[in-house]
Structures are given as C-alpha cells and as structure tokens.
Chain A
Amino acid sequence: ETGVTQSPTHLIKTRGQQVTLRCSSQSGHNTVSWYQQALGQGPQFIFQYYREEENGRGNFPPRFSGLQFPNYSSELNVNALELDDSALYLCASSSRTGTSGNEQFFGPGTRLTVL
C-alpha cells in the first residue's frame, strides 16, 4: 500500500509569484485535506476536497485554491505569494465513510520559502 506522497519536497519562490504543490493520496482514499504549518505552530486547515469538489475551507484567502482529480490526487495553488506564506504544507488523505473521526494519513509535506 503506497502512502501519501507530496512534491516537491522544497521550493523557493519570490513575493508575487505563483506556486503549485502536488499530492498523491493513499490508495483507496477519496478525500484530501491541505494544511499549512508555520514554523513553531500547529497545522492550520486550508481546505478539503471530496470527489473533486471543495468540501470545507478554513480561514484562508481566495488566492489559495485547489483541485482534486478523478484519481483523487490533488493540487494546492497559491497566487501572489506573500512572505507569510512561507511554511510547511501538508496534505492528508482519508476515506470518507459517512461518519466523522476518520483517520487522516499525512504526507511528508512541502517546505515553501518565499523571499
């Protein structure tokens, strides 16, 4: 069973640029969630995708957007990068069963640095 993978591992961008982060969910999982973890903080929920539709969003501006593909992989896009966007971006996949409390399996993350 392949776990959650993310690419790239590290990324350096400058302010104002755009970035795309990618996530491959664990086999059999239909839900992908994205989290932002700033240095020294806990992860913050960005949004979640279920069957290619956005299904819940945290307190992040519209320049954070995403996609989920038919194979349940996902992308996180961030436009007009700001210095505060520097963080570890975590992707988590889960299998929605109609109840809450489903375990989310996390990838290793993408470390984004904005200069």
Chain B
Amino acid sequence: AQSVTQLGSHVSVSEGALVLLRCNYSSSVPPYLFWYVQYPNQGLQLLLKYTSAATLVKGINGFEAEFKKSETSFHLTKPSAHMSDAAEYFCAVNIYTDKLIFGTGTRLQVFP
C-alpha cells in the first residue's frame, strides 16, 4: 500500500532562516508526489508536484522539493522563511489514479 510519512508535526523557524519540512513515501511503483499548503480556515493550495520529470521541483512562493528515490524522500525547502509562510503543510502521493494519500501534516511557525 502507498503511504506518506511527515516527520515533525510542528516546525518552528525564525524569519529569514531555512525551512525544511520532511516527507518520506512508500510505494512499489514510481509515485507522483505533491506538497500542499493550508492556511487557517481555508482549503488546500498546491505548492509543487513531482511527476517523474526533473528531480528538483520548483514551486510557488520560493519553495522547492527534491525527489530522492534512494531515500524515498521528497523534502520541502525554502531558503529564507517569511512570516506569511506560517501554515499547515501536507505531503501527498498519487499513484495510478487521482486519489491523493496525505500525510498527517506539519505546522510551520515563523518567529520574527
């Protein structure tokens, strides 16, 4: 079965610091991987997706993620955190269908 594990339910960084949100997946076939962001009382917005093209994927708002097959990872990074990045982030996997399997989420706090 396919699954996604997000390490760290809460991550806190200072404004301007590196953001690193971890995601590991389990899949017997090449997956499609996504990162979504959810602001309070809102739906999900796609940050970026990996669909077997380039392993380094650039998304919106300065985020990027690198697909590492050997580590079964798809960690999300941003070089410099901004206060507006504070939100809940979800990693998701999609295999063969348009059904998304989500991780439990990581809440990012950004301190001034």
| Dominant SS among interface residues on chain B | loop
In the complex, chain A residues 20-46 whose Cβ is within 8 Å of any chain B Cβ: 31, 33, 35, 40-45
Across the interface, do A58 and B98 meet the contact criterion of CB distance under 8 Å?
no
Interface size on A, residues (CB 8 A): 28
Which of B44, B90, B99, B105 contacts A45 (CB under 8 A)?
A: B99
Across the interface, do B43 and A45 meet the contact criterion of CB distance under 8 Å?
no
Bin the interface of chain B by size: 20 to 34
Q: What's the A-B contact tally at a CB cutoff of 8 Å?
A: 65
Q: Is B80 an interface residue (CB 8 A)?
A: no
Across the interface, do A100 and B98 meet the contact criterion of CB distance under 8 Å?
yes
In the complex, chain B residues 60-112 whose Cβ is within 8 Å of any chain A Cβ: 90, 92, 94-105
Q: Which residues of A contact B (CB under 8 A)?
A: 4, 31, 33, 35, 40-45, 48, 55-56, 58, 90, 92, 94, 96, 100-109
